[in-house]
Amino acid sequence: MADRLASGRCLLGVLTPSSNTALEPLTSQLLQQVDGVSAHFSRFSVTRISLGEDELKQFDLEPILQAASLLADAKVDMIGWSGTAAGWMGFQQDQELCQQIEQRTGIPATSSILALNQVLARMAIKRIAIVSPYTSDVQQKIIENYQSIGISTVAERHLEISDNFAFSEVSPECLKQAVSEVAEAAPDAILLYCTNLRSADQVEQWETELNIPIIDTTSTVIWKMLESQGFNCSEVRGWGRFFQEAK
């Protein structure tokens, strides 16, 4: 990595659900603030989100590992899974995935959810509000998984959508309304829990209006990769105060 940084280049590999159209432009927009860093994407098939057997099989490790191997061809410095499935499947899902990526490629790995949970721990956040596009049963699994690690959900909004592509068509106005509603419960932080929402670039405005930290899962994986590669995350502005506060 020292040679790569000396050359002024840092390549971040990002694993992307196949039907996601939000995270790639948002990730690239965020990284415009960080000189010499670029994102490179690899997809695997994800089209619907539910607790059904076929939908859960979309997150079997082998197809994701194959996508990670393609990123390894680009000699990326780190690989990040920009997705939230571990929220309802269990956090151990991403722990195992990252271990296997590292074993197969020799490249360090992280995920949106592992990074998010590290942010919550560093900021001592114990009371959260969750905004997602998911169905009620998926949302309940997320709530239960956070309860299992001592984090309570004091408010939530979900949109009862299961088609993954459709998540990206939710308007910022709809999301703003949901964020404003959960803010009434005065949580320690509000989580935007889906990487196919067009929300990450709205966070600064919402934080200013509500005076509550807002953490978007599209941004958390990039935060962790930048930090792991030795960059000063506090220099990233406009994507959530956690870039300055999660130290």
Query: What percent of the chain is predicted at pLDDT more than 70?
Result: 97
Kindly report the average pLDDT of the chain as a whole number: 96
The predicted model gives 202-217 an average pLDDT of 98
Residue 7 is predicted with a pLDDT of 60
The predicted model gives 137-166 an average pLDDT of 98
Is the Cβ–Cβ distance between 74 and 40 less than 8 Å? yes
What CATH fold (topology level) applies to the domain 122-216?
Rossmann fold (3.40.50)
The predicted model gives 95-101 an average pLDDT of 98
C-alpha 66/C-alpha 143 separation (Å) is 30
Exposure letters 2-17 (e unless 16+ CB within 10 A, then b): eeeeeeeebbbbbbbb
Going by the DSSP 8-state scheme, the letter that residue 163 receives in this structure is B
pLDDT-based confidence at 158, cuts 50/70/90? very high
pLDDT-based confidence at 3, cuts 50/70/90? very low
Residue 8 is predicted with a pLDDT of 74
Residue 180 is predicted with a pLDDT of 98
Closest CA to 141 of 82, 215, 56, 199: 56
Rounded to 10°, the helix 172-183/203-210 angle is 30
Asked, colleague to colleague, whether 2-114+218-241 and 122-216 share their fold, the answer is: yes
The predicted model gives 198-208 an average pLDDT of 97
Q: Residue ranges per domain, the chain?
A: 2-114+218-241, 122-216
230: left (phi over 0), alpha (psi -120 to 50) or beta: left
Is the Cβ–Cβ distance between 100 and 61 less than 8 Å? yes
∠ CA 232-172-15 to the nearest 5 degrees? 50
Closest CA to 87 of 154, 145, 12: 145
pLDDT-based confidence at 1, cuts 50/70/90? very low
Q: Does 2-114+218-241 carry CATH code 3.40.50.12500?
A: yes
The predicted model gives 47-51 an average pLDDT of 98
The predicted model gives 13-30 an average pLDDT of 98
